[in-house]
Structure 1
Amino acid sequence: MTTSLYALWPFAWWLLAALCGAATFYAISAALTMPRFGSAALVREAARRARALVLPPVSVLKPLCGAEPRLYENLATFCEQHHPRYQLIFGVSSSSDPAVEVVRRLQAAYPGHDIELVIDARVHGSNLKVSNLINMAEHARHDVLVVADSDIAVEPDYLEIVTAPLADPKVGVVTCLYSARSIHGFWPRVGALFINEWFAPSVRVAHSTGSRAFGFGATLALSRGTLERIGGFMALKDCLADDYLLARFARDHGLATVLAPVLVATDVIEPNFRTLWLRETRWLRTIRSVNPAGFASLFITFTSPWLLIGALAYAVLYQGSGGVPLCAGARAALAAFGTSTAGGIIARLALHARSSAVAGAFWRDLPLVPLRDALLLLQWLAAVFGSHVIWRGVRVPVANADGADAAERVERAERVERTARPAPGEARVVSATRRRAAVEVTDGR
């Protein structure tokens, strides 16, 4: 029976075996590359090299919106940097934003630090975060800029490490990976696995193959000269994936993107399934908009469903024989499914173990691994067919990145800004409709 079943569709069996094998190979690669970034030895060496340089002063731009959990604690880590001279600029669009009080507390707690709060309601495009950055950039006094999301916490040598590579004139943007911390509850734990056991390993695997097509809102360090070459933040004012495109525009000018070895920590706070689903499908659809080919290949990175498929295929071939000897092709396919399934289970467990930084997290979260991988597959399918993202209750269309190069984008942005700029003495008016349609999106968090 099995031999005849195999003889009917040999190509289908081997295609399935190849896909299961590819998923296992990815899981092995992801597990092996886990120590590549964030290891104590790499960070210490990067900090030592940074301190050997004469580091220029830095302006750190932190766009804020609302009082997130642990906001004060996260922002305070930027006030504990070893860097000899840096300016902290926090920006909000309204004086009633709860983040204002948090910044005031920081200013009181660190009176010797150069901390500036920018409250500016001007909107320059559909991306509110970029509008915030445009307003904040006017207050930056230094020629090295670091843009960092509000929900990250950093170590004291972070600023030295991420700005040191900019001493090389061939480097355009320095970015870095992040690890997730779940804040209260079941679904934040599931969300943390999204980052720690899928997103971060996939970046490491891509980086190990030579890819440098990165740009994460957790950290974007660049010089003022690089920012001006790509047209400033104004070139990103209508971009959904502004962090990714900032680095890509710099690469379009022949400048390299460097992935720093330091890891920062980010908080996952989504309290229920719905909010987690919306955030993660938004992330995947954003990936689809800027990298369709890369998005199409993501299905192979969801390991657990492929392990289940491989195990079922093995069972069908093995149990369906009914004592009848298998043909050579069926025996080879059986061995392929068995090998890929066993190897994939070991690799997935190793990846989970290496991602479990907190003591006891391995056993606590182990039952969530199949759920996490299955949920990723469903979200990927939803992202394939979806044409919108939901951000803070607003339904926003996702447009594929067009083929225009950076120069064309900059020219278009400057032309729109010139025509929209009010005459001297004339107030700029932003309609309520324009504000509701705006979107503030980084790398999915």
Structure 2
Amino acid sequence: MSPMIYTLYGFAIFFFVFWCGIWFLHILAISYGKIKLHRKVSLLPRETPLPSVSILKPLMGVDPNLAQNLETFFTLNYPVYELLFCIEDKNDPAIAIVNSLMEKYPLVDAHLFLGGSVVGVNPKINNMQPGYEAAKYEYIMISDSGIRMKDDTLLDMVQHMTEKVGLVHQMPFTCDRDGFAATFEKIFFGTVQSRIYLTADLAGINCHTGMSCLMRKNVLIEMGGIQIFGCYLAEDFFMAKAFTDYGWKMTISSQPAMQNCGTCNITSFQARLTRWAKLRQAMVPSMILLEPLSECMVVGGFASWAVNMLFHWDSLVFYLVHILLWFLSDWILLSVVQNGSLPFNKFDFVVGWVFREFSGPYLFLHALWNPAIRWRARVYKLAWGGVAYEIAPKIKS
């Protein structure tokens, strides 16, 4: 055979093995999800008291669900914790909501910090810095504004903070909400995102998102505080990396992070996905090749060509069976993550799943083509390695 034929066979073997590896990840995610997620927690008597927790809540603006989301933090079933609300703009309407909740729950240890501190380009770190400096307890929790808590969520997270663990984070998911955009979000977080998150946690790979995480304060102090991560936009990734570099393990808790933003539309969510893709491309350049290859439609196409080359199987039949099996495995994984009946019917799932699978590669290519990151009213550029710098001033409304 000619060298070209050998080369084609080499590519065919690679794509077939890669395809098999992707299916191994599907099986791992479903199996690990059933074992790891939604385990019951109880506040049993302990030899030592539960550690106290300082909860940082960076806020900016108001959405329709903000008040009810924040209220779930005032009703946590946990012995000792404090709430540290951080708001950069002193005219932010979220201030009124926080003040009303503090008046409604006067026995909860809660404080409001206004103005922020400029310690880097990351607006979230700048916003949280005053609250972090005032935190008085041994564990620090960072929780985004759109997170809704169950009364035992904090207990669940703390119970995962074992002797060798320095960081506990929640796997992103969403509350049940109405509309196609909410369905699309739940499908994304319950399928492709959960598959990556669960397999990464099982393998000990850094896949941390900072929307809801619990950390040891003494380790943060040893690192230099949260301000040392102010030069990054993806501060969550580099926080997790720093913990592992210091010899600590990290793990996900059994309860997913329940995002419950009251403003939900396809355009803003796709912009969010594009921003995440840009961050991944800058921080982990190998994802430029691996991520698009792991998409259902892309890897299925390459695998269909490969099996025709290697085994003379019908490419079209193989491709259709591949899509059907992927669809079914995603339905199973989403059901595992949901831990109950889904808030939409099978037709809605089909439409949302197809839209996600076809839009995923496009959003990734769009992120690759235009690497500048727009975050609220600011625009940033990332250097290789993840260090960010602002390329446009804040736009005043």
TM bucket (normalised to shorter chain) is 0.7 to 0.9
Cα distance in 2 for partners of 1:222, 1:228 equals 11
- Please report how far the alpha carbon of residue 89 of structure 1 lies from its aligned counterpart in structure 2 after TM superposition: 0.9
1:293 pairs, out of 275, 286, 290, with 286
SS at match of 2:63: coil
Tell me which of 115, 123, 128 is aligned to 2:123.
Answer: 128
Matched, 1:436 2:394: yes
In structure 2, the partner of 1:172 is 166
For residues 180-195 of structure 1, what are the structure 2 equivalents within 5 Å? Answer: 180-181=174-175, 183-195=177-189
CA distance in 1, matches of 2:364, 2:324: 22
Q: Which residue of 2 aligns with 1:400?
A: 384
SS at match of 2:158: helix
Identity rate of aligned residues, in percent? Answer: 20
Residue 379 of structure 2 contacts residue 391 of structure 2 at CA under 8 Å; is this kept in 1?
no
Secondary structure of 1:90's counterpart equals strand
CA 1:172–1:22: 2 relative to 1, 3 Å: closer
Q: What does residue 329 of structure 2 align with?
A: 350
Deviations 1:72-128 (CA, angstroms, capped at 9, x unpaired): 111111112111111111110122101111111211221221111111243222111
Which residue of structure 1 aligns with residue 143 of structure 2? 148
TM-aligned CA deviation for residue 248 of structure 1: 1.2
Match of 1:65 among 50, 60, 73: 60
Tell me the CA shift for residue 308 of structure 1: 5.6
- In 1, the alpha carbon distance for the partners of 2:242 and 2:386 equals 13
The equivalences for 1:313-324 within 5 A come to none
Q: Distance in 1 between matches of 2:116 and 2:6?
A: 69
Give the C-alpha shift of residue 371 in structure 1. Answer: 1.8
Q: 1:371 aligns with which of 341, 352, 355?
A: 355
Displacement of 1:269 after TM fit? Answer: 6.0
Alpha carbons of structure 1 residues 380 and 49: separation in structure 2 relative to 1, 3 Å: farther
Greater relative contact order (CA < 8 Å, ≥ 6 in sequence): 1
* Distance in structure 2 (CA, Å) of the matches to 1:436 and 1:71: 24
Shift in Å at residue 211 of structure 1? Answer: 1.9
Shift of 1:295: 5.2
Q: Distance in 2 between matches of 1:59 and 1:8?
A: 58
> Unpaired segments of 5 or more residues in structure 2?
none
CA gap 1:435/1:162 in 2 versus in 1, 3 angstroms: farther
Q: CA deviation at 1:49?
A: 7.0
- Give the aligned partner of residue 38 of structure 1: 37
Choose the corresponding residue for 2:158, options 146, 155, 163.
Answer: 163
The 5-angstrom pairing of residues 97-108 of structure 1 reads 97-108=92-103
Within the candidate set 249, 273, 279, 2:272 is matched to 279
State the shift of 1:194 in Å: 2.2
Matches of 1:368 and 1:31, distance apart in 2: 20
Q: Which runs of 5+ in 1 are unaligned?
A: 1-5, 318-328, 404-431, 438-445
Q: Using the alignment, how far apart are the partners of 2:363 and 2:125 within structure 1?
A: 27
The reply to whether residue 109 of structure 1 matches residue 104 of structure 2 is: yes
Deviates more, 1:366-375 or 1:394-403: 394-403
What whole-Å deviation, never above 9, does each CA across 1:200-257 have from its counterpart, x for those lacking one?
221112223x224133212221222111111101101121111121121122111221
Alpha-carbon offset, residue 338 of structure 1? 5.3
Counterpart secondary structure, 1:366: helix
2:171–2:257 contact (8 Å) kept in structure 1: yes
Matched AA of 2:382: V
Counterpart Cα distance in 1 of 2:104 and 2:14: 62
Deviation of 1:59 (Å): 1.1
Residue matched to 1:325? none
Deviations 1:249-301 (CA, angstroms, capped at 9, x unpaired) = 12211122122222120136665544333211101111222222345322233
User: Residue deviations 1:385-409, cap 9 Å, x none?
Assistant: 4321121243311222279xxxxxx
Larger radius of gyration between Structure 1 and Structure 2:
1
Deviation at 1:177, TM superposition (A): 0.8
Aligned ranges 1:296-315 → 2 under 5 Å: 296-307=289-300
Correspondent of 1:382 among 366, 373, 378 = 366
Structure 1 residues 50, 62: closer, same or farther in 2, change over 3 A?
Answer: farther
Partner of 1:324: none
Cα RMSD after superposing both structures: 3.3
State the match for 1:247 in structure 2.
240
For the residues of structure 1 that align with 2:187 and 2:303, how far apart are their CA atoms? 23
TM-score (norm. length: structure 1)? 0.76
